[in-house]
Amino acid sequence: MGMVDQNYIQNRIEAGEKGKAEALYDLGILYSIGHGVEQDNIEAHKWFNLAAMRGMISAQVDRAELADIMSNMEISEAQRKAREWVVTH
């Protein structure tokens, strides 16, 4: 795990909860590289997907790049998690 200010991560989570695309994208980046959180491609894909749904082109690009190294099962899990997040937010 990389060293990142936990306040920053909490801020990104709170902004993401409010639907801020940039915060959702930032969470995707953090999870994709394991910066301040444990590296997790499924979580990264989920956050990129949520940001992409809000129109962020960079999230669409990063999600596609990440999907290239993920299994179909992992992508399905990430998509399921994104749908669950949408339903609860």
Whether 67 is in a domain gets the answer yes
| pLDDT at position 4 | 65
Residue 69's pLDDT band, with cuts at 50, 70 and 90, is: very high
Whether 24 is in a domain gets the answer yes
Structural domain harbouring 11: 6-88
CA gap 47, 56 in Å, rounded: 11
Q: Does residue 2 carry a pLDDT above 50?
A: no
Whether 81 is in a domain gets the answer yes
Whether 76 is in a domain gets the answer yes
In angstroms, the first-to-last Cα distance of the chain is 28
Q: What is the mean pLDDT of the chain?
A: 93
| pLDDT at position 1 | 46
Whether 75 is in a domain gets the answer yes
Whether 26 is in a domain gets the answer yes
pTM beyond 0.85, yes or no: yes
Q: What is the pLDDT of residues 8-41, one digit of tens each?
A: 999 999 999 998 999 999 999 999 999 889 999 9
Whether 57 is in a domain gets the answer yes
Whether 1 is in a domain gets the answer no
